[in-house]
Amino acid sequence: MKNNTEYFDKRRKKIFAKKGGWKVGKGVTSHNYSLFDDLIGKVSYYQMLILQVTGTLPDTKLATWFDAVAISLSYPDVRIWTNTIGALGGTARTSSAAGITAGILAADSKMYGVGSLNSIIPFITKLKQSNEKLGFSSLVKISEEIKTKSKIFPIAAPGFVKPLIKGDERVPALLKLSTDLDFSVKSHLGAALEFEKIIFEKYGEQLNLGGYIVAFMLDYQFTANHILAIMALIVSGGVHASYIEYLESPPESLLPLRCDDMEYTGPPIKIKPEHLDPP
């Protein structure tokens, strides 16, 4: 069968750019904003980032909120998994870019970080739609449907449990900030907070930061793709800290492991007498 390759032929050796680009000698544009004339010195890093992703330059209020989210995800505690990986990069003398991005990549996880938003976005959307159409009782019904037999998590509710602790101390801090910034609670966050009341009473679980971020961003018209793109690097602060701490410490200094610190559970070891000879 003859294939129609017209779409691809049109794009060979040509780029049709919607976002912007660089015209040498004339300047750089991002969504019709001049990088040099309109953005440098006039907007914050997060305003620029959101412009690049969404095509809309947000006001400083929203940029302040994003700054606060990034700060709230920057615990410089090496025990946090992403940070441990950054620290391991430091001990292994990995380059800053490789060590830190390896830590950030670990946050592409089903359990935490930007990866977890893939399941939080549809769940928060479901809560909002259910609350709007069927009211509070439908949220109660969902709270029953999500019970698990897991010994760790009583419910499977993306955006509402945290692996290490019950509750999330960052959420009240950000809720207070958003009130101070005059952001109103709209339908997604409203449904999430209603749902939190139910599951806190039943299971002692609360809204987590991922759930809060998603609910807020959906309320302010960010699409799923835009949420995932903007949040891709959000954990970086703690990883930077952990990387540099261990780059500046001796190799092997992070929780040194002896051979017997790894527990072998496999088939019997076939030791031959010659294995015991001196090397």
Partner 1 sequence: MKNLFEFRAVEFAEKVHTSIWYESAFKHNPYLTDQLYCHGEAIIDLMSSHSFDEYLFFLLTSKFPTQNQKKIFNALLIGISNVGLRHPANRAVIIAAASKTYSQNLLPIGLSILGGSYLGADEVLSSMKWISKNKHRNPKDLIFENQSSLIQANDLEKSQEHVFPGFGRQFDGVAPWPKRLSKKLISIGEEIPHLLFCEQLVFFLEEQDNSGWLITGLAAATLLDLGFHWKSGAILFQLLATPGLAASSLEMSEKDYTSLPFIAEENYILTTSK
Closest Cα to residue 170, out of 216, 208, 211, 220?
208
Q: Is 1 in the site for partner 1 (CB under 8 A)?
A: yes
Q: Is 262 in the site for partner 1 (CB under 8 A)?
A: yes
Q: Is 261 in the site for partner 1 (CB under 8 A)?
A: yes
- Other C-beta atoms lying within 10 Å of the C-beta of residue 98: 12
CB nearer partner 1, residue 55 or residue 129 = 55
Locate tokens 């807020």: which residue?
A: 216
By CB under 8 A, name the one of 145, 182, 248, 260 that touches partner 1: 260
Report CA-CA distances (Å) from 103 to 109, 265, 268, 276.
11, 29, 35, 39
- Residues 162-181, one symbol each (x = binds partner 1 by CB under 8 A, - = not), give xxxxxxxx-xx---------
Q: Is 267 in the site for partner 1 (CB under 8 A)?
A: yes
CB nearer partner 1, residue 5 or residue 137 = 5
Q: Is 4 in the site for partner 1 (CB under 8 A)?
A: yes
Report CA-CA distances (Å) from 40 to 16, 29, 34, 53, 88.
25, 12, 9, 17, 35
Q: Is 18 in the site for partner 1 (CB under 8 A)?
A: yes
Report CA-CA distances (Å) from 21 to 24, 28, 49, 178.
10, 6, 15, 34
Q: Is 266 in the site for partner 1 (CB under 8 A)?
A: yes
- Contact, 93 vs 248, CB < 8 A? no
Q: Is 78 in the site for partner 1 (CB under 8 A)?
A: no
Q: Is 15 in the site for partner 1 (CB under 8 A)?
A: yes
Q: H-helix or E-strand containing 23?
A: strand 20-23
- Summarize as ranges the residues that interact with partner 1 (CB under 8 A): 1, 3-8, 13-21, 23-24, 29, 31-32, 34, 95, 97-98, 102, 105, 152, 162-169, 171-172, 200, 204, 206, 256-272, 275, 279
